[in-house]
């Protein structure tokens, strides 16, 4: 059996030009057009939003010297392939991006030409979300249909609820604090998780992303050894719709702590949303509040990550969904052949949907 692993990521433009950035944004906004409009109105709105956002995003890319996301994702693909080969698998790993080249369809064609007989589609998003993980796997299904490739394939969605990944994140935070002389258990210091936000509409439709954020942050905090921690969201304001709350600024404004150890919990790569939104915009806000900002680097270069990913692939190949397996049928994408580390568990009601459930926004320091 020749295994093909399709590693999927967001992708960011390699060229720092409006001609590259604008269509990149159009693809993102069009994928989520249903938040406002459908059909031709959705296409027009996507173009409008992209034209408005592109100059600012281009300036952000220029400020950080271009996004390292694509390069880091490619390094992960190479490392995973090496891990699989070293473990005795006949395997090839192809990289596909949702919004830039090589697209998911390019990676599907690459694996088809390589003659693989079984495919594992693996989005590199720790926390399963509607417009990331689910949309990526839907993209794989479309691409295989377009090339009429009826290969046996398994989709892996969320994988944050794995003890090895929890320890990987916690170890990274502990090492950072040790190197910087920070103690997250001190009364003046707080472990603060910045999570990418999601529209409330997706949560109402069944996404469990917000609850995954909550439980993952709680697990990592416990592994770090702290009793107090907080979550805030990186929300986008392009569309006038409700997003997960609280925004980072609101959450931080309510804190008395003077030192914030900030972990970008939703990300496994550095990109514009960490290097610009956090290291520039959020840092400026935090310092303007008289607090100290200490951002934990994303552990993209740890050797433990490709080893962890190899374990996920092997679990996907070994009767996923059966008793004793780490993987269960996915609830966020309830399609046959989609598995995750989350599906077997019932989760408590969302703590981040006050508009829907009548709860006040989360503002207090949290510990489950």
pLDDT digits (tens, 9 = 90+) for 154-174: 999 999 999 999 999 999 999
**358 compared with 121, residue with greater pLDDT:** 121
Q: Over the chain, what is the mean pLDDT?
A: 92
Q: How many domains are there within the chain?
A: 2
- pLDDT exceeds 50 at position 359: no
Residue 189 lies in a domain: yes
**8 compared with 363, residue with greater pLDDT:** 8
Where among 268, 296, 324 does a domain terminate? 296
pLDDT band at 1 (very low <50, low <70, confident <90, very high): confident
Are 50 and 169 in a shared domain?
A: no
pLDDT (average), residues 184-205: 95
pLDDT (average), residues 86-112: 97
Cα–Cα dist 287/262, whole Å: 13
- pLDDT exceeds 70 at position 132: yes
pLDDT (average), residues 324-340: 91
- pLDDT exceeds 60 at position 365: no
Residue 1 lies in a domain: no
Are 59 and 179 in a shared domain?
A: no
What the block records as the tokens of 97 is 């991006």
Query: DSSP readout, 77-98?
Result: HHHHHHHHHHTT--EEEEEEES
- pLDDT exceeds 80 at position 117: yes
Can you give the pLDDT at residue 356?
40
Residue holding tokens 């006040």? 360
pTM for the predicted model, two decimal places: 0.92
Are 181 and 58 in a shared domain?
A: no
pLDDT digits (tens, 9 = 90+) for 19-54: 999 999 999 999 988 888 888 998 999 999 999 999
Residue 191 CA, distance from chain mean position: 19
3-class DSSP assignment, residue 4: strand
Residue 33 lies in a domain: yes
pLDDT band at 363 (very low <50, low <70, confident <90, very high): very low
What the block records as the tokens of 198 is 């999601």
- pLDDT exceeds 80 at position 368: no
Residue 283 lies in a domain: yes
Where among 296, 330, 352 does a domain terminate? 296
Where among 29, 45, 64 does a domain terminate? 64
- pLDDT exceeds 90 at position 109: yes
Residue 366 lies in a domain: no
pLDDT band at 123 (very low <50, low <70, confident <90, very high): very high
Residue 31 lies in a domain: yes
Determine contact, residues 339/327, Cβ cutoff 8 Å: yes
Q: Which strand (E) or helix (H) includes residue 126?
A: none
What the block records as the tokens of 27 is 């693809």
Residue 150 lies in a domain: no
Q: Strand order of the sheet with strand 229-234?
A: 229-234, 189-196, 259-263, 292-296
pLDDT band at 357 (very low <50, low <70, confident <90, very high): very low
Can you give the pLDDT at residue 353?
59
Can you give the pLDDT at residue 319?
82
Could you tell me the CA-to-CA distances from 22 to 4, 103, 196, 316 in Å, in that order? 32, 16, 22, 37
Range of the domain at 279: 163-296
pLDDT digits (tens, 9 = 90+) for 287-330: 999 999 999 999 999 999 999 999 999 999 988 878 778 899 99
Can you give the pLDDT at residue 362?
37
Cα–Cα dist 133/333, whole Å: 9
Residue 220 lies in a domain: yes
What the block records as the tokens of 244 is 């997960």
Could you tell me the CA-to-CA distances from 92 to 9, 81, 112, 270, 304 in Å, in that order? 17, 6, 11, 25, 20
pLDDT (average), residues 263-289: 97
pLDDT (average), residues 185-191: 96
Give me the CATH number covering residue 224.
Answer: 3.40.50.1400
């Amino acid at each position: 059996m020749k295994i093909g692993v399709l590693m999927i990521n967001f992708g960011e433009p390699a060229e720092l030009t409006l001609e590259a950035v604008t269509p990149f944004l159009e693809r993102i906004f069009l994928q989520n057009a249903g938040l406002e409009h459908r059909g031709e109105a959705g296409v027009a709105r996507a173009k409008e939003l992209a034209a408005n956002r592109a100059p600012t995003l281009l300036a952000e890319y220029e400020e950080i010297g271009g996004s390292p996301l694509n390069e880091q994702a490619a390094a992960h693909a190479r490392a995973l392939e090496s891990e699989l080969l070293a473990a005795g698998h006949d395997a090839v790993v192809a990289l596909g991006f949702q919004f830039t080249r090589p697209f998911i369809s390019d990676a599907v064609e690459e694996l088809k030409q390589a003659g693989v007989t079984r495919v594992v589609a693996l989005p590199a998003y720790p926390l399963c979300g509607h417009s990331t993980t689910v949309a990526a796997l839907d993209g794989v299904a479309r691409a295989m249909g377009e090339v009429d490739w009826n290969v046996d394939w398994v989709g892996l969605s969320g994988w944050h609820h794995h003890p090895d990944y929890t320890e990987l994140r916690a170890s990274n935070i502990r090492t950072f604090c040790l190197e910087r002389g920070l103690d997250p258990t001190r009364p003046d210091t707080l472990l603060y998780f910045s999570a990418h936000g999601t529209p409330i509409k997706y949560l109402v439709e069944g996404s469990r992303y917000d609850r995954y954020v909550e439980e993952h942050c709680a697990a990592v905090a416990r592994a770090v050894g702290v009793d107090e921690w907080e979550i805030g969201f990186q929300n986008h304001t392009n569309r006038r719709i409700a997003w997960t709350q609280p925004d980072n600024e609101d959450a931080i404004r309510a804190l008395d702590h003077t030192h914030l150890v900030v972990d970008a919990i939703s990300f496994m790569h550095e990109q514009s949303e960490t290097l610009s939104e956090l290291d520039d915009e959020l840092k400026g806000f935090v310092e303007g509040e008289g607090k100290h900002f200490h951002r934990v680097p994303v552990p993209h270069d740890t050797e433990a990550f490709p080893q962890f990913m190899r374990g996920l692939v092997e679990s996907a190949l070994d009767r996923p969904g059966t008793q004793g397996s780490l993987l269960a049928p996915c609830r966020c994408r309830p399609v046959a052949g989609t598995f995750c580390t989350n599906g077997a568990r019932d989760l408590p009601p969302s703590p981040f949907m006050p508009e829907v459930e009548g709860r006040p926004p989360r503002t207090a320091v949290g510990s489950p």
